[in-house]
A and B are shown apart, each in its own frame.
Chain A
Amino acid sequence: MNIRAQVSTVFHLDKCIGCHTCSVACKNLWTDRKGAEYMWWNNVETKPGTGYPTKWEDQEQYKGGWERSGSQLQLKMGGKASSLGKIFHNPDLPTMDDYYEPFTFKYADLTNAPAGKDQPTARPVSMVSGKPMKIEAGPNWDDDLSGSNIYAANDPGVVQLSEEEQQQLFAIEKMVFFHLPRICNHCLNAGCVGSCPSGAIYKRGEDGIVLINQDKCRGWRMCVSGCPYKKTYYGWTTGKSEKCILCYPRQEAGEAPACFHSCVGRIRYLGVLLYDADQIEAVAMKEDSELAAAQREMILDPHDPQIQKAALKAGIAEEVLAAAQASPVYKFVKEWGIALPLHPEFRTLPMLFYVPPLLPVLSMENQGSQKMAEDFFTTLENARLPMRYLAGLFAGGNEEEVKAVYRRLIAVRIQRRSATVGDMDEAEVVKAREIAKVSSEQIEAIYRMTALTHIKQRIVVPPMLRDRAIEAGIDPETYKQEMGFGKRQAPKRRW
């Protein structure tokens, strides 16, 4: 057993209001510079929809993530040798048009225009070339456009649904969408790390944050293709790739990452998970439908004395172990089993988990009128969002996995309604709990964690132990640049 700690996260989609505060917080902090305008390390998509970059989930087009090739795990973009053969031109690289060309407007024209009959206009200009351009895409271009023929209908998850299911999804009175905030998943079997020819991308051993060493990066761009979530971005002015750093400088100072801190809906949870690194490859080789469960299995119980002993032996500090015990992510993923990874079939073992959205699933016809437990469970099949669509997103197509989560979420709903409104038969509540296989105490805990916690319970940043990171006796000065003190040169082209 090779125990490691991983700073992991949960996004509770029922609580996401799609306000993009997270995206803006991230942009202001990290990507508000030339060459990074188009990058959204954190973005919020509307589902069903095509997302950013357009149709990123379609790996037939982008060739991201891993696939099984015999008994081996191989990058979908090809083996190592073939990858080097494509170094002069990467056929699977998305171009700026797959994201959008950043633009601004010639605002000065509004005030400088000579007096005339027409209203002066500010024409859009490209932020790359500075020339006038036609705006055809932008950040979050298909926001709230679910049901549209151009966007939602082209969602790779929708395309694979049956005619009937698609009609169910797009019936005009039943139109439905939910928001999907996305950041880097800081995967255990990261595609970006595996595809980097320079070996510049690495996982930090202590906390599992995936970073790109900017001095080692030579701009071969394979990581952009290798990541199936398209969460590494090519800086077109610097010739380097960049990605979400999970705000490690903030975390090292005990602060929550900016997108977590600013989240209006308080949907974001962060905490340490312990896992067995020896199992990574075996888990990543499982069948599509087994991947979500297998990934849950490899997460270890920080309350188990045996695990604690092994973790200490593996060099995990006691403080980190304590943080793992207080981790809300462990509760969501393991104890309650209501959070699932996004697209586990990409086989990267993403460590960002989602509580699937309940509201759009339940609010069917007779909007607003509540149903009894029996109805809830039997109508799951006819939910406004087809189960197959959700299973395609969160469980590698395994509908049972998603349904199990929904049964629990519904049981929480019923028990809480019974407690607050009091119009439910106690027998109904008991039945809901039985079907969902959750206890009354668990439901109360889920309710508290979902609705009533303050930031220190939602976001349990482990101590990063910078003081112990350098061996005693070695001058910290010599480690300055390796230790997250950052670069002192501007990220721009100088030669």
Chain B
Amino acid sequence: MDREVLLEIRGLRIEGRSGEEWTEIVKGIDLTLHKGEVLGLIGESGAGKSTVGLAAMGFARDGCRISGGSIVFDGIDLRTISEKQKRDLRGARIAYVAQSAAASFNPAHKLIDQYCEAPVVHHVMGREEAERDAIDLYRRMQLPDPESIGFRYPHQVSGGQLQRAMTAMAMSCRPDLIIFDEPTTALDVTTQIEVLAAIRDIVRQFDTAAIYITHDLAVVAQAADRIKVLLRGDEVEEAETRQMLDAPREDYTKSLWAVRTFARAEQPPASGTPIVSVRNVTAAYGTVNVLEDVSFDIHAGRTVAVVGESGSGKSTTARVITGLLPPKSGEVLFEGNALPAALRRRTREQLRQVQMIYQMADTALNPKLTLRELIGRPAQMYLGLKGRVLEERVKELLNLIELDPATYIDRLPGELSGGQKQRIGIARALAAEPKLIICDEVTSALDQIVQEGILKLLNRLQEEFGLAYMFITHDLATVRAIADEVVVMQQGRVVEQGTKAEMFAPPHEPYTELLLSSVPEMDPDWLTRLLERRGAA
């Protein structure tokens, strides 16, 4: 890279406050960015990547402070200039795109008013010129109705469109550098593609340098020239994108790359009476049908993955099976016998057979109960265990989920890590000794390495106890790893179902095709090829 250096960070240290104490959360990061270059900053939660991104604007969030190092942007040291001078740079020469556009647009103003604010305040252009420019950029970002969309309020525009409008806004003063902070993480896969493509194009058109922050390797591979990997505030390694993907040097990076390699062994076709059959279920919230004629079976020892984007009805299906939402028509059979539709009509034995694990372990575990109480309660309630027997059972369950009973049994959920909490959710489900466990997006809130551990654990338990899983997810990589059968849902209907082998081999239903092809791959040319293919079709 022989272009001029735009941003140079040396020995950056940032501290965060917890209570009265300051702890270092960024521990001496170096970073060099050339003009027009895109740097991918990746790492798991707590790696400090957002903090570093904001520091590139000379900014630290409340409760954080930059405690060491230098940040030199185009010859200007951001650590020594005044607040006023920093304000003159922000928005004008360095811009920011936040993760949640819905929360980062001011709800009280129209999109275009927020667009025009920075150019007018920084005296880049007048109000009218800025409005014309906004419409031009909205068009380049491929927003629908570019002439009029700016005159809407944020709540009137969808999430993917807002994210593009925010990127357009960041571009309004034609900055030299844009910080993208997880811009596509909150979006569905099919929307993610559009936003990612739009961001990549606009950055190239204006030859803008960018720092692209994300936890998703495949996403960053599409946009970045170089990738830097962070772990707990330290740099692990940095390399050109292709080199990094082909030949990572460090063990940590290799483990990140390897996460998606776990796959469950192929199972023979299932036979016999299914554990649970969903038969022609139609369900509604109020008068709006959210499920239409949904049918599928789940057999013992098998995993059925239910896949779809937000609003597809996959969680609603789980609510029907558990009895939280009695269906309008259709029924749910358990081992061939119809289950009462409503939860309160089911017997304790029927309740015991179907257990649930939730996406957010934080909200699924009562923070005021110890692990002993959390895990012990189902065993006590369903199986009548008491005293010593109960304690032994809880310890046995803790061992099963690979947590040391002596250390953990009397802890509260707040004293555990995210992955450990999810394991407690699993132990609580196991304690009831059920036949079916419904896993609702159980890995999507976790870092990739932790995800893999959870998937392996679930797989081992399945083999050991012959459990059936209904695995609700939007992530096709997870499906590939763990499913035996797949049910694809869209807007409350099942669009396709079959074994994993059938699902991942053509021909596909159009929606399945769209879904499958939208999953980013670890190949820098993937997005380009996909867009060419879709353009040709």
The answer to whether A and B belong to the same complex is no
Residues of chain B whose beta carbon lies under 8 Å from any beta carbon of chain A: none
Residues of chain A whose beta carbon lies under 8 Å from any beta carbon of chain B: none
